[in-house]
Copies of this chain bind each other. A is one copy, B any other.
């Protein structure tokens, strides 16, 4: 039997993960990666800009040699079309036959169609070139305007603040920062911290124009003109779906449609990472993850499947943690926000708690704020948001796993968090467990009331 021909279009997190997973699963397959640019560890960018990361590992320059070691062929070229009938991927100069194809074309940064967007000194944050150019520009800049207060914008602002020597302003069209990933309870805490550190935050109004001749000199925000030596757009990304669309593959609002094997509407063609539409692990609705973690996992699953394994993806929770360098705090989140859940007409409650991160008598204990979102009908946690100087990542992973495994809140009251004074607070003091206990009591109370009165049990809050 001839070796299986596997072609992967795209060479960033998803594509890389798929290539190696395919190789681990099938030692003999012919595996080809077609990509016009080398991969990049995108999560590193804020810290490269802030100067915390000084090495070059984030440019993933070692990937080509790792491909070579694993007998994966690398074609540095652009795939311009897919022919599903002939089972070919074409570049300008050549064509590549496949038995299975994986599309991992990623996403591109969105920039609003406003005057001045092409001025020198206005940047998006996506590629190695973007990063190096921003870094260069920072050397001569005294002020920077960040457009978009999502995770990336906030992370960059805080890494630049840690670097020092810059006036930093953030413009966000919504009425608060982190509008889609955090509820306002916690986003306000973060916003206050940024402001206390001297970062100006302008919310509730968008940037309508970039001003300057060749170089950007200011942005127009409402009726204000805000001067700045450079502008960084961090508004979000849009999936690269052209290649798939032109091949007749079904594309949804948030990206290329796939089934739980990551296979598209055309047999033997898969889509993974930022170009693919995900589904929510909580309610199965379409969801955009656009996180490296999901890309890597989808890559692993598609890579296994094209190589003969049978792996499935069960959806995204958009679990994420961020480090705000200047403040030395971690912020993390998973699942639905309260606000989003309400738009899905779920019967949810939220509970905000806080605790220390270690025993209160152990030196160096830090503060931890936790907000838990729980669904009264299913008696399950559906989301969590946290801010703390330590211990956030572990707790976000814990809540993520609990949601993923479908645990009821009553099960989670019995999480046996390990305890030791220098590392954790006493179990009954831990903000996460306090919140879970509250949720458990509330749910029992509501269910009892329902039983005894026949009412709907909807809380008044």
Q: Is the CB of A417 within 8 A of B293?
A: yes
In the bound complex, CA of A419 to CA of B314 (Å): 19
Interface residues of A in 372-430 (CB under 8 A from B): 391-398, 400-402, 404-405, 407, 411, 413-424, 426-428
Q: Is the CB of B17 within 8 A of A422?
A: no
Chain B residue at smallest Cβ distance from A333: B418
Q: Does A443 contact B (CB under 8 A)?
A: no
Q: Does A332 contact B (CB under 8 A)?
A: yes
Q: Is the CB of B416 within 8 A of A361?
A: no
The interface residues of chain B lying within 8 Å CB-to-CB of A420 are: 43, 320-323, 330, 393
Q: Indicate which residue in B293, B361, B394, B398 contacts A55 across the interface (CB closer than 8 Å).
A: B361
Interface residues of A in 187-237 (CB under 8 A from B): none
Q: Is the CB of A321 within 8 A of B43?
A: no
Main secondary structure of the interface of A (DSSP, over half): mixed
Q: Indicate which residue in B320, B363, B400 contacts A52 across the interface (CB closer than 8 Å).
A: B363
What number of copies of this chain does the assembly contain?
2
Q: Does A47 contact B (CB under 8 A)?
A: yes
In the bound complex, CA of A294 to CA of B17 (Å): 40
The interface residues of chain B lying within 8 Å CB-to-CB of A296 are: 426-428
The interface residues of chain B lying within 8 Å CB-to-CB of A417 are: 293, 319, 397, 400
The interface residues of chain B lying within 8 Å CB-to-CB of A301 are: 414
Q: Give the bracket for the number of chain A residues in contact with chain B.
A: 35 or more
The interface residues of chain B lying within 8 Å CB-to-CB of A422 are: 47, 52, 323, 325
The interface residues of chain B lying within 8 Å CB-to-CB of A246 are: none
Q: Is the CB of A416 within 8 A of B428?
A: no
In the bound complex, CA of A361 to CA of B17 (Å): 19
In the bound complex, CA of A183 to CA of B326 (Å): 41
A-B interface, 5 closest residue pairs, ranked by CB to CB distance from nearest: A394-B394, A57-B361, A323-B422, A55-B361, A319-B418
Apart from the given pairs A393-B394, A404-B415, 15 other A-B contacts in the complex at a CB distance below 8 Å: A17-B428, A56-B361, A58-B361, A292-B426, A292-B427, A293-B417, A296-B428, A300-B413, A321-B418, A321-B423, A330-B423, A393-B418, A396-B418, A397-B415, A400-B418
Show 22 A/B contacts (Cβ-Cβ < 8 Å), sorted by A: A24-B441, A41-B421, A44-B361, A44-B362, A53-B421, A55-B361, A56-B361, A292-B427, A293-B417, A296-B428, A297-B414, A300-B428, A313-B414, A319-B416, A321-B424, A394-B394, A398-B401, A401-B402, A401-B415, A402-B405, A405-B405, A405-B411
